[in-house]
Amino acid sequence: KIMQIPPIYSALKKNGKKLYEEARAGKTAEELGIEAREVTIYDLKLLPTNEKGEGLPCFRLDVECGGGTYIRSLVRDMGLELNTCATMTSLVRTQQAQFILDNTIEKEDLSA
């Protein structure tokens, strides 16, 4: 379990308004007082990558987490813990509840 501050560009509500609406109106996370929430990380693996980071470190993660976890925030927080910055370039959700990506059918393979 970790404490995580949700990203300002999220649909969470603060004072009856969605955070992303407040962000688009120019408000900062500090002004809104977004509070940390407890989330669960069950497993986190560092995976090899073939991607070129254009001179910057580039890595892949495999994260198994509980509901309400923001992966963008997890990556941001990892960068902060390393006294640097970090950002996400892509996200593939491999499972959501009982839905597993490997068990899905491609749109092109559907027949009428």
Q: Is the pLDDT of residue 112 over 60?
A: no
Tell me the sheet residues that pair with 61. Answer: 46
- Prediction pTM value: 0.78
Share of the chain above pLDDT 70, in %: 96
Long-range pairs, 39-43, Cβ under 8 A, ≥24: 39/1, 39/2, 39/3, 39/4, 39/65, 39/66, 39/68, 39/69, 39/70, 40/1, 40/2, 40/65, 40/66, 40/69, 41/1, 41/2, 41/65, 41/66, 41/69, 41/74, 42/66
51-106 residue pLDDT tens: 666 777 888 899 999 999 999 999 999 999 999 999 888 899 988 888 898 988 88
Q: What is the pLDDT of residue 63?
A: 96
Q: What is the pLDDT of residue 29?
A: 85
Report the C-alpha gap between 30 and 28 in whole angstroms: 5
8-21 residue pLDDT tens: 898 888 889 999 99
Tokens linked to 100: 């597993």
Q: What is the pLDDT of residue 45?
A: 96
* Domains of the chain in sequence order: 2-102 (3.30.2350.10)
Contact 20, 8 (CB under 8 A): yes
The kind and range of the H/E element at 90 are: none
